[in-house]
Structure 1
Amino acid sequence: MTLAKKVADRIRRWPKERVFSRFDFLDLGSTAAVGMALKRMEDAGKIRRVRRGYYDRPRTHPLLGTLKADHKEILAAIARRTGMRLQTAGSNAANELRLTEQVPARIVYETDAPSRKLDLGGRNPIQLKHRPLREIARASESSRFVFAGLRAIGRTHITPERVAHLAKELKPEHRRLLLRDLRYAPAWMHPHLRAIAAGEPKSRT
């Protein structure tokens, strides 16, 4: 099987929204050879370039037409290529967890890499804010996401309804991880995290 066929087969097995770079194929061949294979696929319209060095498969919606690449997928591909760690910042996490209806004006991620702004084609650039590695790498990704959301809401605004909402929305495996990662959360979160993990509301403390 040729390198081009191997690259194409792998892309077909991935979810269509996945963003990738030539560094996702290092086990198949050199970056130069993979880059040439991707360029030929782009020229043939089988994949599209969403950012220099990054691609996805074109997706369309019957009403919306051609869909843009998901910024989360682009960031995930950049993280795989560079090795940087990412964590959704507090207000964004709270919104995505539906703990608040307030939509943040900016999309912000915390990272162990240097702070910078990424223009991914949206209205506003995505902000990457540096945080020490020890504050990002310890807990699991899903637990860090919950910690960030609760921290943004604030201890005095964590209601039984919000705890019950998280207990219902989180997958069982993610609730179990909350208990494993309890040591990495502030002490004031512990009663709420235990209640979320148990699947029941906890009164404000």
Structure 2
Amino acid sequence: MSEKRAIFSDMRTTSPSSGKSQPTQQTPPSHGSVDAAIRAKLAASEPRKVFSPVDFLHLGSRAAVDKVLSRLTSTGALRRVARGLYDVPRTHAILGPLLPSADDIAKAIAGKGSLRLQPSGAYAANLLGLTEQVPMKLAFLTDGVSRTVHIGNQSILLKHTTPRNMATAGRISGLVIQALRHFKQAHIDDQVVATLRAKLTAEDKAVLLADASLAPVWIADVMRRIAQDKG
């Protein structure tokens, strides 16, 4: 299976008349140049990408960026899919307007504050093929604040959790741990183990073995079973 910081310069120049050091005067970008820069970035981006204002702060001040995003949204060049999140509208000939995927939304939310996200609950089980039903509420564990984002008729729930629960975030072991936790120990049978054993690659299984000590004892035992060649 397969962050932003502003850098301030303290450069100084020497005045020919006084010989004293004076701060360099830098002209802030105009609204027109910020608008053009944002449009260029949107045009060069992946079709499904979801943006937040943070993605454009290297192009101008927050006020200038917000003004451009508001203008682009009012003209239809951008769509506001949730508070502080935008995408370029896409339309399917038959299905009509297409909403961004949960993964695209999650990536944008994570990028806003350099957060880590870990799919959990029924969503983790679905991603691993243990259930075909996509839950209406997609749950993610995070090291950031808890919040809920509504996209169409679907909700994305971010739940703040402990550093231990985030220790395997972003790795296949994290996904397996959360899926098994969702099923609960009493419902983990040979079929669940066999499904995951067939689904995961040899590299995935090596990660499970390496991260087993980070999981609850009973989940660690299941992870080791999955990583075995035979049941």
Task: Say whether the fold is shared (TM-score over 0.5).
Answer: yes
2:167 to 124, 129, 138: 138
Structure 1 length as normaliser, TM-score?
Answer: 0.76
- Indicate the RMSD between aligned Cα atoms, in angstroms: 3.0
Specify the structure having the higher radius of gyration (Cα).
Answer: 2
Aligned counterparts of 1:152 and 1:52: Cα–Cα separation in 2: 29
Consecutive unaligned residues in structure 2, runs of 5 or more: 1-32
CA distance in 2, matches of 1:21, 1:99: 33
Larger helix percent: 1
CA spacing shift, 1:169–1:63, aligned 2, 3 Å: farther
Retained in 2: the 8 A contact 1:140–1:177? Answer: no
Identity %: 38
1:110 aligns with 2:141: yes
Superposition map of 1:33-182 within 5 A: 33-101=64-132, 104=135, 106-122=137-153, 125-132=155-162, 134-142=163-171, 143-170=173-200, 174-182=204-212
Q: Would you tell me which structure has more strand in proportion to its own residues?
A: 2
Q: Give distance in 1, aligned partners of 2:166 and 2:213.
A: 13
The answer to whether the Cα contact below 8 Å between 2:119 and 2:141 also exists between their aligned partners in 1 is yes
- What amino acid is aligned across from residue 24 of structure 1 in structure 2? D
CA-CA distance at 1:23 after TM superposition: 0.2
Relative to structure 1, is the Cα distance of residues 101 and 38 closer, same or farther in structure 2, using a 3 angstrom cutoff? closer
Residue 119 of structure 1 and its aligned partner are, at CA, apart by: 3.1
- Does the CA contact (< 8 Å) of 1:164 and 1:201 recur in 2? no
1:18 maps onto 2:14 in alignment: no
Question: 1:25-69 CA distances to partner (integer Å, 9 max, x unpaired)?
Answer: 233332223333333433443321212332111112222111123
Cα distance in 2 for partners of 1:201, 1:10 equals 50
CA distance in 2, matches of 1:173, 1:197: 10
Extract unaligned runs of 5+ from structure 1: none
Instruction: Tell me whether 55-64 or 181-190 shows the greater mean CA deviation.
Output: 181-190
Q: Distance in 2 between matches of 1:196 and 1:36?
A: 52
1:19 Cα deviation (Å)?
A: 0.9
Tell me the SS of whatever aligns to 1:15.
coil
